[in-house]
Structure 1
């Protein structure tokens, strides 16, 4: 799956998928064959951090 390039769209899509389909960021990345480091880095640049207890970026 190709994730959005725009950081706000990426934030929205990843959080929706985490909320509705995946118990963790690791599970999402493994299933979608995407780099966890890439997602975390791109969202960190936009000011977001992953909270594993809440399973979402904020």
Structure 2
């Protein structure tokens, strides 16, 4: 599935896509940035607004405390 404007997606939909890509094809946030064509800072901002943050040791966006 190609995403043309990930920054325009609803944050919850973006979260699902991002975590799926991290699980299946991207080994880290840098690879995900290249894959989606969006900066990690943009992802952190958009997903942080709904309470999710990137955890490098788990290679996924999760809520704090999960």
Over the aligned positions, Cα root-mean-square deviation in angstroms equals 1.2
Could you state the TM-score of these two structures normalised by the residue count of structure 2? 0.79
Query: Which 4+ residue blocks in structure 1 deviate beyond 4 angstroms?
Result: none
Give, in angstroms, the shift of residue 57 of structure 1.
0.4
For structure 1, list consecutive stretches of 5 or more residues without a partner in the other structure: none
Greater C-alpha radius of gyration:
2
Task: Give aligned pairs, total.
Answer: 58
Structure holding more strand per residue: 2
Could you state the TM-score of these two structures normalised by the residue count of structure 1? 0.88
For structure 2, list consecutive stretches of 5 or more residues without a partner in the other structure: none
- SS for the counterpart of 1:49 is strand
